[in-house]
Amino acid sequence: MTEPQARPKPLTIRDVARAAGVSTALVSIVFRGAPGASEQTRARVFAVAEQLGYRANRTASLMKLRRTKHLGVTLNARSAFHAELVENIQAAAAESGYEIVLSLVTATHDESRAIETLLGFRCESVILLGSQLPAARLRELARELPLVLVGRRADLDRVDVVRSADHRGQALVVAHLAGLGHRDIAHVDGGHHPISAVRRQGYRAAMRRHGLGDRVRVVPGGDAERDGHRAAAELLRHERLPTAVCAFNDHCALGVIDALAKAGVRVPGDCSVTGYDDSPVAQLTAVDLTSVSQEAALLAQSAVRAAVDRLEGRVAGPTDAVLEPRLVVRGSSAPPNRVDGLCHCSASR
């Protein structure tokens, strides 16, 4: 029996650079049509790319065009907040004379593949929404083209960051719940999501500031409804249910609310629940979710500005734009239902 042949690795920009005898950065300049390479170098790079079969179906058009003025955007297909960001990014890009190219991150099309798709469309810069790539990979990509991270902290050369002050956003949630009289406030975190640690730290610090350091309870979660379901199931296993739950994001909060409702726990009558992102779903009358707004329009505008300023040579070092979050109070949070210091919920557990 013949052994199955190993699948050849896809060609990368580094392979083209090695074969052409130039740097990876110079190949990136050529592919983006950016200034900084001679016509002779451009011709050689395109010829080598075509010879190797590197995005061969696009090399002819690349030779004819200097710039595409395309901004690539990756987004999670399940995120309503990302959809809102994209709508605002498109508007901001159009005002600056740019077009956006979208690439979805799904269960079968991970973030790395989504970025490769954008590179194939010759995007001049890529805006990553909620990126979960490791720092080493981000650093590598930043050598090929300008990157803008939205919603995540980073301290990387050549990577611009636009984010909300997540620790302050979580502090707004705890202050609101404590002001309503809650003392048993649990936090459902975001699991391995890069922003999770910041929001978790913000929750812990805020609980200490309100004299609730001994009441801190962090439950493993994630960024999807199913993660909220699992977290709520964990909370329901205990005899004492917290009177309030602040979830990592709106999707997670929806999962918490759904699981509590199925267990006969009223929200907010027996347990208040808050989210984060103030996504369109949080604003639905049937949901009416108290949530932290990251000011999607301002985030989008700042992200596009960072990308365009970088491409137009108006900035030198990396930028880190931090926007102030805003708490939007709705019907999912209310004063606790307490008798003798205990939460008497309608569900029998």
The percentage of the chain sitting over the pLDDT mark of 70, rounded to a whole number, equals: 89
Q: Are 80 and 251 in contact (CB under 8 A)?
A: yes
Tokens of 68: 């595409």
Mean pLDDT of the chain: 88
Contacts 24+ apart (CB under 8 A), 232-235: 232/256, 232/258, 232/259, 232/260, 232/263, 233/259, 235/186
Total-model pTM: 0.77
CATH class of the domain at 13-64: mainly alpha
Q: Are 177 and 234 in contact (CB under 8 A)?
A: no
99 pLDDT band, cuts 50/70/90, is: very high
199 pLDDT band, cuts 50/70/90, is: very high
Q: Where are the domains of the chain?
A: 13-64, 70-164+296-324, 166-290+329-343
pLDDT digits (tens, 9 = 90+) for 287-312: 999 999 999 999 999 999 999 999 98
What is the reported pLDDT for 217? Answer: 97
User: Which residues have a Cβ under 8 Å from the Cβ of 300 and sit 6 or more positions away?
Assistant: 85, 86, 87, 88, 89, 91, 92
Say whether 348 sits in a helix, a strand or coil: coil
What integer is the mean pLDDT of 45-51?
Answer: 85
Report d(CA 217, CA 204) in Å as an integer.
9
Task: Domain 70-164+296-324: give its CATH architecture.
Answer: 3-Layer(aba) Sandwich (3.40)
What is the reported pLDDT for 6? Answer: 53
Q: Name which residue leads in pLDDT, 85 or 15.
A: 85
Q: Are 248 and 223 in contact (CB under 8 A)?
A: yes
70-164+296-324 and 166-290+329-343 agree in CATH topology: yes
Report d(CA 99, CA 122) in Å as an integer.
12
Return the closest-CA partner of residue 185 out of 152, 217, 214: 217
Write down the CATH superfamily of domain 166-290+329-343: Response regulator (3.40.50.2300)
**Burial group, residue 1, by CB count within 10 angstroms (0-12, 13-18, 19+):** exposed
User: Which residues have a Cβ under 8 Å from the Cβ of 340 and sit 6 or more positions away?
Assistant: none
